[in-house]
Structure 1
């Protein structure tokens, strides 16, 4: 096989790995979605829901943990599925995960300037046009484009530089979250929980409401898989790497659960309802009430903005490494496998993702919501294929060295495949709460068609090198 046309620096340590995975999972949802979750399932119900969602992701995470330590190469899912199912299976899985990464990057690029207007109401200046009911302003575009260029540049400078940014922002999120939980414990009141522990008239309806939140909980926990994508740049003992991956999932579940509990302990049901119908930023409103200060609400929103950037940054890392891995195997134009002569990063892949995120901004937030939902479906497909690879490789290559070896692989593998497959089906069945719209199906279908074109063209151009 031909030598890879690149070289990567092996410089990510334990802290870098943990904050990159955790930061990817903690975006903006904990600020804007907590009120909706509480209204749908209750405070304790939402905590149970995230525990269930975490269990779903946990089984998939076990598969990733074992496969990552067995095959510590950049590309993650691409590497696993290629060894298990060959180039066709690998192409499908990796092309799907790239859509999920690019979708998150585009959505976060749009979210950041949208959030700024909550802090600075007069931020929007220079109306340009409207797309699907979303008004686009010059200041909105300029801020988003500048930040997109900045994050792309930081990633080109090296994964260590990106990890340093990630560390600062993740610590900020953690501090803001801890402050919220602490002040809620001090100034909150258990009476606020009356009527909002669970939602439902009987056990059946309560369970149904919990399940409805549990269905969307995994979508807020996606992101741990950016670690396998950058495996060649990680300088951590392989067995420890597997444990870190699982720990990052547990940490994210705990974070979401504590935030929801803090909100419910600090605001009663009427206040939550009023906040949802008002600003929509229930977590920020809880912070303002508990401190009796509007300034503290803005501080929490800043913490949420950090969450946007950590997700954005993590998925830039993951997406660029997935593109590089496909280019290494001649599945897409080989030029994307090249690394920067000085920084040793896949700069062309990073520039491509950065450019797509900038272009997407001109289509407005509604379009990006469609892309993000399509991306979540694509991520579930990829997770299911990785889970199947985990089982197949245990049977096909039982003697493969596995520094982090999962016990009871049949049970864990079955659960990973079944639960990730269940999530895929939920996107397609009507009435599940996460059913894809026609627009989202068209976006996903369009991405699939582009993938087929790439595969055919590269197969003709590179012939026997395709998938090698």
Structure 2
């Protein structure tokens, strides 16, 4: 068990989970994917179906957490216990890809926010244009500074990061709530609060499937709970409420931001599609500069909580892999023990590349992150099914959670799926798979006999 100075409270654990769910995507995806793809009705249905599907998966996490020893974290422990070390390594590497991708995504959102808040004269040092996005040295510098800052915070200890996360989450919740009510208040009396034509074809055409496919990425924050469970000072029985609270908070935030983005853009879906940032443009047009600053506070809180929460959770996940001797030597010290300093520095090094890629590759990184997370879902739901079968208590819901995980993976991998990975996403994924395979070959044969089984 971690020592007391490294423990975190129940509220801090909730803040980490909720903050990890409500990242930059809640403010960008309504304009980039949700509303252009399937309008308000279709995207709302996709969010509801996706949330219910994620809840079915989350049941497996809750069930396994209640049976996990106090001195163990979830994830790696479960897969190694109910499957084997090889699968534990694949699970850990897949989820780590997802976590680190989300840190990189939140970093790249800093550049978007800077462009909306600051005059163009502060875009200093034009470097190049990539996929239609101009990259400036000033933005690369500020994004890199954010990575370095939160890497330093996490080097100070999990408790420091958790305290900061709690304050950030409170600011974020208050800001989004204020934006929602301000949007309603500022709506002209001549405008309806819902579109006159809800266009049911946005549901029947299955145009919402790409939205459903990214729901694992949207709700991955709850998956951080088992990674930090060993550090939670309260009983592990409370992890159930942590996961449920984070899921409820997630669906409320996604609904609210998706709705007021459509409302403030007058339900003009073509204008939403053509906008560089529909949520920000709508707030600016409807509420003005006060609204933009409120949105900025909310988005800064979400970006920072996403960066902080996923760096923290990535470190705890990799620490669990280190405890099971599943990490390459690059993550360990001279005594072959897990090195937090080296791990945080390596995570930061990978994420420092993201500001150089521009913004227009974000959806590709989202897809790659979603695949890594869904692989994790499949492993955990399978571990839960094996556990329940051993106790002869397996029911329909256990099988259904495994099936849902497989469906999520299929939506991303099947070439005819509207949510299939792009070529760029496959290239990024291939790079990480090669790195993982190199580590696998160096670790697994040496330690094959150390399985928990």
Measured after TM superposition, the shift of residue 362 of structure 1 is 3.7
Residue 42 in structure 1 maps to residue 39 in structure 2: yes
Q: Is the 8 A contact 2:265 2:271 kept in 1?
A: no
Measured after TM superposition, the shift of residue 367 of structure 1 is 5.4
Measured after TM superposition, the shift of residue 256 of structure 1 is 1.1
The 1:65/1:440 distance shift into structure 2, 3 A limit, reads same
Measured after TM superposition, the shift of residue 61 of structure 1 is 0.9
Residue 57 in structure 1 maps to residue 51 in structure 2: no
Aligned to 2:7: 11
Q: CA–CA distance in 1 between the matches of 2:284 and 2:441?
A: 56
Q: Is the 8 A contact 1:183 1:290 kept in 2?
A: no
TM-score (norm 1): 0.86
Measured after TM superposition, the shift of residue 368 of structure 1 is 5.8
Measured after TM superposition, the shift of residue 264 of structure 1 is 3.8
The 1:31/1:223 distance shift into structure 2, 3 A limit, reads same
Measured after TM superposition, the shift of residue 97 of structure 1 is 0.5
Q: CA–CA distance in 1 between the matches of 2:210 and 2:126?
A: 38
Matched position secondary structure for 1:135: strand
Aligned to 2:194: 193
Residue 433 in structure 1 maps to residue 431 in structure 2: no
1:205-261 CA-to-partner distances (Å, cap 9, x unmatched) read: 3xx234453333343122211111111110122222112212211210112112223
The 1:23/1:43 distance shift into structure 2, 3 A limit, reads same
1:96-117 CA-to-partner distances (Å, cap 9, x unmatched) read: 1111111111222222123211
Q: CA–CA distance in 2 between the matches of 1:34 and 1:254?
A: 14
Please show how residues 131-150 of structure 1 align to structure 2 within 5 Å.
131-150=130-149
Please show how residues 20-419 of structure 1 align to structure 2 within 5 Å.
20-35=16-31, 36-71=33-68, 72=70, 75-122=73-120, 123-188=122-187, 191-200=192-201, 204-205=204-205, 208-270=206-268, 273-278=270-275, 280-291=276-287, 293-333=288-328, 336=331, 346-366=340-360, 369-396=363-390, 410-419=395-404
Measured after TM superposition, the shift of residue 165 of structure 1 is 1.9
Q: CA–CA distance in 2 between the matches of 1:429 and 1:96?
A: 18
The 1:106/1:30 distance shift into structure 2, 3 A limit, reads closer
Q: For structure 1, which segment, 22-31 or 453-462, has the greater mean C-alpha deviation from structure 2 after superposition?
A: 453-462
Aligned to 2:406: 421
The 1:40/1:459 distance shift into structure 2, 3 A limit, reads closer
TM-score (norm 2): 0.89
Q: For structure 1, which segment, 85-94 or 61-70, has the greater mean C-alpha deviation from structure 2 after superposition?
A: 61-70
Measured after TM superposition, the shift of residue 465 of structure 1 is 4.7
Q: CA–CA distance in 2 between the matches of 1:134 and 1:204?
A: 34
Unaligned runs of 5+ in 1: 399-407
Q: CA–CA distance in 2 between the matches of 1:281 and 1:438?
A: 25
The 1:314/1:119 distance shift into structure 2, 3 A limit, reads same
Q: For structure 1, which segment, 309-318 or 213-222, has the greater mean C-alpha deviation from structure 2 after superposition?
A: 213-222
